[in-house]
Amino acid sequence: MVKKEKIFNFVLVLILFVTLIVLTGCGQKNEEQVVENTQNNMVENEVVEESPIKNGKYEMVIESVEELPDEDIYLEIYDNQLTLVDGFAQITQIGTFKIEDNKLVGTYNEVEYFDQNTADMTKKEINDKLEFEILEDGSLKDNIGFGMTFDKTLYQGETYKLSQEYGDSSDWENLYLSFIKNDLKESTNAIEDDPLIGPFIALIDLNFDDIPELLYYDAEEYINAGDMYTYVYTIENGKVTYKTKTAIRHEERFVKIPDENIIIHYDEYNPATKEWMKIIQDLQEKTLTGYDGNYNMWISNANGEKQEDITPEEYNKITSLYFENTNIEPEILKTYTLMEDYTDEQKTNIFETAVEEYKNK
């Protein structure tokens, strides 16, 4: 009888022991599950902090008149790209950065500068460090300076403060409208309601990115034979940027060839001539010039400087391929008068009309 009682007690202890192990395991699993769920919730609810650096233009802070340079010195920041412009030293440096320990840390990888030996602006690749400390008010202090490629350290320790915040490039309507009302240099010698005298604005997509370029003609500048300089502005890195200038007329015809990212345009009043046509590629104009396809044939740049001579065969090939392509319907450039003394409301109405016309094409 005693033996049976001992066996019963042993089995009871064994059952209790096994139960305890099972319960302990479940408890541990529940604790692990709670920890895992907590971690997942923390990841899901994690707040991504906004970058302390805003996209925009940062101008050098000048403390006294003695420090005032002859030209602007400023930074332009868009996402992780930093462009430093020194108009006084004629240096532009472009680099990339990341934010570490409350600093912009990175490398300048390209410089454009005035070469005293060739008297030309020159670009080259570089590998110079950049480091800007982020101050409490969002200003940037240059800890290294720049110009190391030229064995110089320019403006080390200077501070740059945000002066213009850049927007999203897709918001081109507001960017252009703000530019027209606040920053566009307008002609003072214009004649109203004369599209050949101007001034005018126009919208046309010249680089096939579905965002139009803004064209503006300033009546103070002429080329010759009635042609006129028209300034081409585009949107880069969230801001309106001057790109190039070209000689065009009101209601000039544009022929777009999207497969090759090329636009040609020619004089409305003499579309059959082979004397010249203009090719715009990557927003840079080249002019093809020839007479009867027999002599004096060349391609020049937007400034009228000859770039290369071409043979009659090359000339005829280009004109037949692009200029005489009657299968492509040309787009007519529509312009809108923009007088200097117009109010902001008038400028807004004119621009909105241009936008509506552009979207309805």
CATH number at 129 reads 2.40.128
Same domain as 212, residue 312: yes
Percentage of the chain modeled with pLDDT above 70: 59
Same domain as 263, residue 184: yes
Domain closes at, from 165, 186, 211? 165
pTM of this prediction? 0.63
How does the average pLDDT of the chain come out, rounded?
75
Instruction: Evaluate whether residue 42 is within a structural domain.
Output: no
State yes or no: pLDDT of 109 exceeds 80. yes
Domain membership of residue 70 as a residue range: 56-165
Q: Please state, in angstroms and rounded to a whole number, the distance separating the CA atoms of residues 253 and 243.
A: 21
Same domain as 223, residue 91: no
Same domain as 326, residue 211: yes
Q: List 232's β-bridge partners, or say none.
A: 215, 244
Q: List 141's β-bridge partners, or say none.
A: 133, 159
* Residues contacting 115, CB < 8 A, separation 6+: 121, 122
Which tens digit of pLDDT belongs to each residue from 252-275?
A: 777 777 776 667 665 544 444 444
Same domain as 252, residue 288: yes
Average the pLDDT over 315-331 and give the result. Answer: 66
Instruction: Evaluate whether residue 240 is within a structural domain.
Output: yes
pLDDT at 141: 97
Average the pLDDT over 198-212 and give the result. Answer: 86
Same domain as 267, residue 185: yes
pLDDT at 272: 46
Domain count, the chain: 2
* Among the ranges given (207-211, 238-242, 266-270, 328-332), the one the predictor scored with the smallest mean pLDDT: 266-270
Same domain as 342, residue 194: yes
pLDDT at 195: 56
Average the pLDDT over 306-335 and give the result. Answer: 70
Same domain as 285, residue 193: yes
Same domain as 159, residue 221: no
Domain closes at, from 150, 165, 180? 165
Q: Please state, in angstroms and rounded to a whole number, the distance separating the CA atoms of residues 322 and 163.
A: 45
pLDDT at 319: 67
Contact 201, 214 (CB under 8 A): yes
pLDDT at 236: 87
pLDDT at 148: 92
Average the pLDDT over 333-361 and give the result. Answer: 90
Instruction: Evaluate whether residue 263 is within a structural domain.
Output: yes
Higher-scoring residue by pLDDT: 139, 281: 139
Same domain as 280, residue 178: yes
Same domain as 182, residue 288: yes
Instruction: Evaluate whether residue 15 is within a structural domain.
Output: no
Which tens digit of pLDDT belongs to each residue from 271-309?
A: 444 444 555 656 666 665 554 444 455 666 655 566 677
* Phi, psi at 314, each rounded to 5°: -65, -40
Instruction: Evaluate whether residue 138 is within a structural domain.
Output: yes
* Among the ranges given (115-124, 193-202, 299-308), the one the predictor scored with the smallest mean pLDDT: 299-308
**3-state secondary structure string, 216-280?**
EEEEEEECCCCCEEEEEEEEECCEEEEEEEEECCCCCEEEEEHHHCEEEEECCCCCCCCCEEEEE
Same domain as 211, residue 155: no
pLDDT at 46: 46
Instruction: Evaluate whether residue 21 is within a structural domain.
Output: no
Residue labelled with tokens 């790209």: 81
Contact 349, 356 (CB under 8 A): no
Average the pLDDT over 16-23 and give the result. Answer: 52
Instruction: Evaluate whether residue 86 is within a structural domain.
Output: yes
Instruction: Evaluate whether residue 27 is within a structural domain.
Output: no
Domain closes at, from 106, 138, 165? 165
